[in-house]
Amino acid sequence: MAAPLPELDWPLTRPFWDAARKGRLVMPRCEDCARHVWYPEERCPDCRGERISWVDVSGRGRLFSWAEVKHLLHPPYEGQIPYVSGLVTLEEDPRIRYVTRIVDCDPADLSIDLPMEVVFRTLTFRGVAGGVRAPVFRPARTPARS
């Protein structure tokens, strides 16, 4: 059984999903103070500015925290257990803690501050033909920038 569908057409997140379909990771950023605003909001949490635009980010970051999900907590996730859920801080703004799925690794090899990189996977969701292309993270295969 597939997972529940994210809201692909919600105005605050539509640019995120549109970019993901093209293999790009984007984040909203305030045009007034340059702060990245994640989770998307209509106003900047720092300066309260309303001029928010979506910008490409590198897709590089560091593992802040993670949990291996071993028990079924929600029936639509049946068949996907076990998986690793994590928080990744992005290179552009370490205040951003991006909730994501961690892939392509043994959970025993994960550690705090491990360099991570984005990859895009097609996730299947009930009622969506072909699935949804989404950014997920894996341990970096190229050295992180200093």
Q: Are residues 95 and 47 in the same domain?
A: no
Cis peptide before 39 (omega within 30 of 0): yes
- Reduced 3-state DSSP string for 39-93: CCCCCCCCCCCCCEEEEECCCEEEEEEEEEECCCCCHHHCCCCCEEEEEEEECCE
Q: How many domains does the chain have?
A: 2
Q: Are residues 136 and 65 in the same domain?
A: yes
Q: Are residues 72 and 131 in the same domain?
A: yes
Cis peptide before 107 (omega within 30 of 0): no
Q: Are residues 16 and 37 in the same domain?
A: yes
Q: Are residues 52 and 121 in the same domain?
A: no
Residue 145 in domain: no
pTM recorded for the entire structure: 0.88
Assigned token pair, 108: 């025993």
pLDDT tens digits in sequence order for the chain, 146 residues long: 455 667 788 899 999 999 999 999 999 999 999 999 998 999 999 999 999 999 999 999 999 999 999 998 777 677 778 899 999 999 999 999 999 999 999 999 999 999 999 999 988 765 566 778 999 999 998 765 55
Residue 20 in domain: yes
Q: Are residues 136 and 107 in the same domain?
A: yes
Q: Are residues 47 and 71 in the same domain?
A: no
Q: Are residues 65 and 130 in the same domain?
A: yes
Domain extent, residue 14, equals 8-56
